Amino acid sequence: MAASIASRAVSRALRGTATVPLLLSRNKLVRVSPRRWLNLQEYQSKKLMQDCGVAVQRFFVADNASEAMDAAKRLNAKEIVLKAQILAGGRGKGVFDSGLKGGVHLTKDPAVVQELANKMLGFNLTTKQTPKEGVKVNTVMVAEALDISRETYFAILMDRACNGPVMVGSPQGGMDIEEEVIDIFEGVRDDQALRMAANLGFKGPLERQVMEQESERSTKTTCTLTRLLSTACMLGFSGTLAAEASVVCVAFISAINDSLMCRNCRGYKR
């Protein structure tokens, strides 16, 4: 179910581009606002990484409340997270025109998943990054909730300065950022992955474990980006890596789009 919906949605995202005239006449110019040519939903990004072998939390996608409840039962998890899927941030603090508060909810009861999905699907969700009328929710992601011991930030960006992908990581976000340039022919070296793991704050045996996962994740994610570069001139992956209580590192929150560096521009607030 998740595979077919994600595949169709990715295809629509790749096709949904349009040309914008830059010049109306010899003397009149048109101001063109920044625009993303490729912007994937959270579940679409997870599906692409999952297809390339990157560790992600178990999840399903649903477009009606009954499917959402069935997905929750299939997960058979201790706790379930239900997330409204829209191209905007701030979902957790958003408000639906159905009266429901929050586009992200935790529960242990599949019946509650169905109840919440009924108040999400088909309704508009308004967040700090949406228009005043909000954005209609057509899809929800039903995922396994993880016991997170610590979160770090990791991204792969296409960088103009080095004409290739760059790994970017931070143990907490903010200004403490480590950068490693990836050779597109050689891939991610072990020493680069080890430095990145250390910068992310992993120590001892866990540092080596995360290094090995990070090297594999970076290589596979770069392959994912390369697949899509034929349709997007600038593409990147960003996400939050979560270390579970069982000491397993997974890509917990992920995003793939064609311009991760312009999140603060007006064009991102759609």
Per-residue pLDDT of the chain (270 residues; tens, 9 = 90+): 544 555 555 455 545 444 444 445 555 565 555 565 667 889 998 888 788 777 788 999 999 999 999 999 999 999 999 999 999 888 999 999 999 999 999 999 999 999 999 999 999 999 999 999 999 999 999 999 988 777 777 777 777 787 777 877 777 654 455 666 767 677 777 777 777 777 777 766 656 655 565 555 555 555 555 444 433 333 454 556 555 545 456 666 666 666 544 444 444 344
Whether 122 and 166 map to the same domain: the answer is: no
Cα dihedral sign, 237-240-241-246: negative
Residues 6+ apart with CB under 8 A from 222: 156, 165, 182, 184, 187, 188
pTM here is: 0.66
Residue 242 maps to which CATH number? 3.30.470.20
The CATH number of the domain holding residue 35 is 3.30.1490.20
Question: Same domain for 238 and 134?
Answer: no
Same domain flag for 21 and 110: yes
Domains of the chain: total? 2
The count of C-alpha atoms lying within 13 angstroms of the C-alpha of 187, restricted to the half-sphere facing its C-beta, is 11
How many whole angstroms separate alpha carbon 148 and alpha carbon 157?
Answer: 25
Out of 144, 161, 192, pick the residue that ends a domain: 144
Give the residue from 122, 144, 166 where a domain finishes. Answer: 144
- Residue pair 220/54 in contact (Cβ under 8 Å)? The answer is yes
CB 142 within 8 A of CB 82: yes
- Judge if 22 and 134 occupy the same domain: yes
Tell me, yes or no, whether 49 and 167 share the same domain.
Answer: no
In this structure, are 133 and 157 located in the same domain?
Answer: no
What are the strands of the beta sheet with 148-159, ordered from one edge? Answer: 178-181, 164-170, 148-159, 236-244, 249-257
Are 123 and 184 in a shared domain? no
Distances, alpha carbon 178 to alpha carbons 12, 154, 167, 173, 192, in Å: 35, 9, 8, 10, 10
Distance between start and end Cα atoms, the chain: 28
Asked if residue 195 and residue 113 are part of one domain, the reply reads no
SS (H, E, C) 111-149: HHHHHHHHHHCCCEEECCCCCCCCEECCCEEEEECCCEE
Domain boundary among 144, 168, 185: 144
113 with 155, same domain: the answer is no
Distances, alpha carbon 95 to alpha carbons 141, 151, 232, in Å:
17, 26, 33
State how far the Cα of 18 lies from the Cα of 10, in Å rounded to an integer: 16
Q: Assess whether 135 and 7 both reside in one domain.
A: yes
Asked if 152 and 140 sit in the same domain, the reply is no
Which domain, by its residues, includes 234? 148-268
Instruction: Indicate whether 163 and 137 sit together in one domain.
Output: no
